[in-house]
Amino acid sequence: MAATRRRRGPAPAGGTRPAGGAGATSRSPMPDGERVLEAAIELAREIGWANLRLRQVAARLDMTLADLHGLYRDQDALADAWFRRAERAMLAPAGDGYADLPPAERVTRALERWFAAVDRERQISLDMIGTKLYLSHPHHWLPMVFHLSRLIQWLREVARLDAGGRRRQIEEIGLTALFLRALWVWHWERSGTRAATRRCIESGAAGLFRVLGSRG
């Protein structure tokens, strides 16, 4: 007796919409969580993040809501996964010579990679942040603080900032302020080039390490 297996993705079928963009098939090696995120982003391009419903994402992938729930507890978890992608982009190998750059330049390059990643889906990213900040969603606020703290710790890692003690505390406060300021500038920037965001990061990082001294 044949058994039906649905948890590993949709079975090949004529007319089934492929997930994950052009060239994807039901036999794609993309992990299930990534497939769901790709489908959600694709759908958000069509109808907007605020109008997206998880049942629509599940239907697009021919999976049950129970299966989707096993991967993402809610829509906010999908947003978290999207921003984790930006973190991974920030942590990607930076190339030869990066370790020899001044600390302000290392921070600048790392943050530029983060903003480049979220800027690929600018409106969706902005809508995700806006949804997290709704007054009716206070349960999202505390996790945002922890996520920001984690981002800053990874930024220190990729920028090779190894100081301890009081200097580390000042670095963390300064980098947090720099990131939030750059996020605000990026939110309002309409140039399409992120030039203002880049200038904000460059000047902020340079100022921080002038205060701290050039060591790092």
Q: Which pLDDT belongs to residue 161?
A: 96
Report residue 177's pLDDT band, with 50, 70 and 90 as the boundaries: very high
- Yes or no: say if 50 and 131 are a contact pair by the CB < 8 Å rule: yes
Give per-residue pLDDT as tens, 127-161: 999 998 877 667 777 778 889 999 999 999 999 99
Residue of 157 and 30 predicted with greater confidence: 157
Q: Could you tell me the two tokens for 41?
A: 């982003």
Residue 8 reports pLDDT greater than 90: no
Report residue 71's pLDDT band, with 50, 70 and 90 as the boundaries: very high
Residue 23 reports pLDDT greater than 50: no
- Yes or no: say if 102 and 214 are a contact pair by the CB < 8 Å rule: yes
Cβ-proximal residues to 115 (8 Å cutoff; 6+ apart), any chain:
182, 186, 194, 197, 201
Nearest one of 114, 141, 138 to 125, comparing CA atoms: 114
Q: What is the rounded CA–CA span in Å between residue 134 and residue 79?
A: 14
Report residue 94's pLDDT band, with 50, 70 and 90 as the boundaries: confident
Nearest one of 40, 34, 24, 31 to 8, comparing CA atoms: 31
For the domain made up of 76-212, give the CATH fold: Tetracycline Repressor; domain 2 (1.10.357)
Q: Which pLDDT belongs to residue 123?
A: 96
Mean pLDDT of the chain: 86
Q: Which pLDDT belongs to residue 30?
A: 66
Sign of CA dihedral 203, 207, 210, 216: negative
Residue of 146 and 216 predicted with greater confidence: 146
Cβ-proximal residues to 156 (8 Å cutoff; 6+ apart), any chain:
168, 171, 172, 175
Report residue 95's pLDDT band, with 50, 70 and 90 as the boundaries: confident
Residue 28 reports pLDDT greater than 80: no
Nearest one of 89, 87, 176, 183 to 133, comparing CA atoms: 183
Residue of 24 and 212 predicted with greater confidence: 212
